[in-house]
């Protein structure tokens, strides 16, 4: 499933002989019926074969077996309204935090990205449908939702009108904010091209919005941004970050960066380094550029050696690590409110939760009592990107039901 399936389609059956189903980005909701049908027909074929064998009619000559032939399915076609089927394949189980897809597709044409070709154009779900899904999640015990879109802040721009100067995305944020039981709202990932003042202002009057945005920068070089077909300059990106920090003092910003993009010079790379140091990201997801089939960047001249990409990658990781260690160390001795998501992935004897800034905190406690709860923690220690703390006495009493 996904972008590769959408892009390669039928050819995947030649490369993966045991493959049964290839489903494109607009057909996730059909997967169950395809798989169920294949399994049912295989079972029927085996039962027919067994029946014939018992009746003494089995033919042992090569090529005379009665097992049903392979039934391979490839479905990568366009389906109108597929954005409204997203909810149909979401598992209905209790989760403290849940993702809610609000749109499909992308109208941007970044030179390194294949998504517009595999996921189609932007298509947003109606606000009312999204709110109903969030209400259902809240009823099941979810307290935090993350709204998902390829460029999430451009939600609904081609289908829905601005109201009182507010974009459809801000209207959606306001509607989700009203859902009883939801206490935290996140979204990912926004794009500078659609980051307007109404979204910045939303952080001043919607307290359920978490104090964290994941805001992909990709490069600090205007020349490379242009080659990437990112329609903004670095100063615009910086200005948005500074506006957001002014709107929410405790805001944490994380980002995506691509190093080693075709033709990237030492000067271009230094522009990215300087921007990282200026903005002091709480975390950066740093990727070495790699070719994607059928993208303009894959055909560009000036492809860089892997050794150069790796050197630059390691340098950015080092800088980001120093920033993160310092920022997290500054939180030692403070009180942070976390949503407990369950046992830690690295130590099942401990519990893990996240602050509103999306920082991971490890605490002691009973998973049955605390999972899904929001409570205060005194931060005692930090190692890189992880904080360690103890429940405040009041939180301990709440957990114990006192």
| Each residue's pLDDT tens digit, 276-288 | 999 999 999 999 9
Query: Are 265 and 290 in a shared domain?
Result: yes
Query: Are 253 and 394 in a shared domain?
Result: no
Distance (Å, rounded) from C-alpha 257 to C-alpha 259? 6
Domain range holding 44?
A: 3-75
Query: Are 292 and 358 in a shared domain?
Result: no
Q: What is the mean pLDDT of residues 5-26?
A: 81
> Which residue stretches of 248-337 are H helix?
266-279, 306-329
Query: Are 107 and 198 in a shared domain?
Result: yes
Query: Are 139 and 277 in a shared domain?
Result: yes
Q: What is the mean pLDDT of residues 115-142?
A: 91
Q: By C-alpha distance, which of 371, 308, 324 is closest to 343? A: 371
189-210 pLDDT, tens digit each:
999 998 999 999 999 999 999 9
* Phi, psi dihedral angles at 275 (to 5 degrees): -70, -40
* Phi, psi dihedral angles at 287 (to 5 degrees): -120, 135
Query: Are 314 and 172 in a shared domain?
Result: yes
Q: What is the mean pLDDT of the chain?
A: 88
Output 316 or 122, whichever has higher pLDDT.
Answer: 316
> pTM value?
0.78
Flag whether pLDDT at 58 surpasses 50: no
Per-residue model confidence (pLDDT) at position 68: 40
> Within 13 Å and on the Cβ side, how many CA atoms surround 2?
1
Single residue among 53, 75, 97 that ends a domain in this structure: 75
Query: Are 178 and 61 in a shared domain?
Result: no
Query: Are 194 and 293 in a shared domain?
Result: yes
Residue 223, C-beta contacts closer than 8 angstroms, at least 6 positions apart: 268
Positive or negative CA dihedral for 120, 122, 126, 132?
A: positive
Single residue among 329, 354, 377 that ends a domain in this structure: 329
Distance (Å, rounded) from C-alpha 141 to C-alpha 120? 33
Query: Are 382 and 317 in a shared domain?
Result: no
Query: Are 388 and 368 in a shared domain?
Result: yes
Min mean pLDDT across 4-8, 27-31, 77-81, 385-389 is at 77-81
Query: Are 251 and 310 in a shared domain?
Result: yes
* Phi, psi dihedral angles at 173 (to 5 degrees): -55, -45
Looking at the 3D structure of the chain, how many domains does it have?
A: 3
| CATH number, residue 339 | 2.40.50.140
| CATH number, residue 307 | 3.80.30.20
Query: Are 261 and 356 in a shared domain?
Result: no
Q: By C-alpha distance, which of 279, 265, 284, 286 is closest to 223? A: 265
Single residue among 329, 354, 384 that ends a domain in this structure: 329
CB atoms closer than 10 angstroms to residue 263: 14
């Amino acid at each position: 499933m996904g972008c590769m399936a959408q892009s390669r389609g039928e050819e995947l059956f030649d490369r993966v002989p045991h493959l049964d189903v290839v489903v494109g980005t607009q057909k996730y909701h059909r997967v169950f019926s395809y798989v169920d049908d294949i399994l049912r027909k295989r079972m029927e074929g085996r039962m027919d074969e067994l029946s014939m064998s018992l009746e003494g009619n089995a033919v042992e000559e090569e090529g005379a077996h009665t097992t049903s032939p392979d039934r391979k399915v490839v479905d990568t076609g366009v389906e109108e309204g597929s954005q409204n089927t997203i909810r149909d394949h979401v598992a209905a189980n209790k989760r403290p935090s849940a993702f809610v897809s609000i749109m499909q597709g992308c109208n941007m044409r970044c030179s390194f990205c294949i998504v517009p070709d595999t996921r189609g154009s932007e298509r947003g779900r109606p606000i009312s449908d999204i709110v109903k899904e969030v209400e259902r999640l809240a009823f099941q015990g979810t307290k935090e939702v993350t709204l998902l879109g390829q460029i999430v802040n451009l939600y609904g721009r081609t289908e829905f009108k601005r109201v009182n100067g507010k974009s459809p995305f801000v209207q959606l944020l306001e509607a989700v904010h009203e859902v009883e039981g939801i206490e935290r709202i996140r979204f990912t990932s926004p794009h500078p091209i659609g980051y307007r003042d109404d979204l910045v202002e939303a952080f001043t009057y919607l307290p359920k919005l978490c104090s964290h945005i994941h805001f992909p920068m990709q490069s600090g070089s205007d020349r490379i941004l242009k080659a990437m077909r990112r329609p903004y300059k670095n100063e615009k990106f910086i200005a948005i970050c500074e506006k957001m920090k002014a709107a929410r003092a405790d805001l944490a910003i994380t980002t995506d960066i691509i190093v080693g993009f075709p033709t990237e010079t030492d000067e271009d790379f230094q522009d990215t380094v300087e921007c990282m140091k200026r903005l002091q990201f709480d975390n950066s997801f740093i990727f070495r550029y790699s070719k994607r089939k059928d993208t303009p960047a894959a055909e560009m001249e000036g492809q860089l050696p892997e050794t150069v990409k790796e050197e630059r990658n390691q340098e950015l990781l080092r800088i980001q690590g120093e920033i993160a260690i310092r920022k997290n160390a500054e939180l030692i001795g403070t009180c942070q409110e976390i949503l407990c998501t369950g046992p830690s992935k690295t130590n099942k004897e401990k519990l893990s939760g996240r602050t509103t800034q999306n920082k991971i905190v490890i605490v002691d406690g009973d998973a049955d009592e605390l999972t899904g709860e929001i409570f205060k923690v005194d931060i005692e220690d930090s190692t890189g990107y992880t904080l360690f703390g103890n429940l405040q006495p009041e939180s301990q009493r709440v957990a114990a039901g006192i």
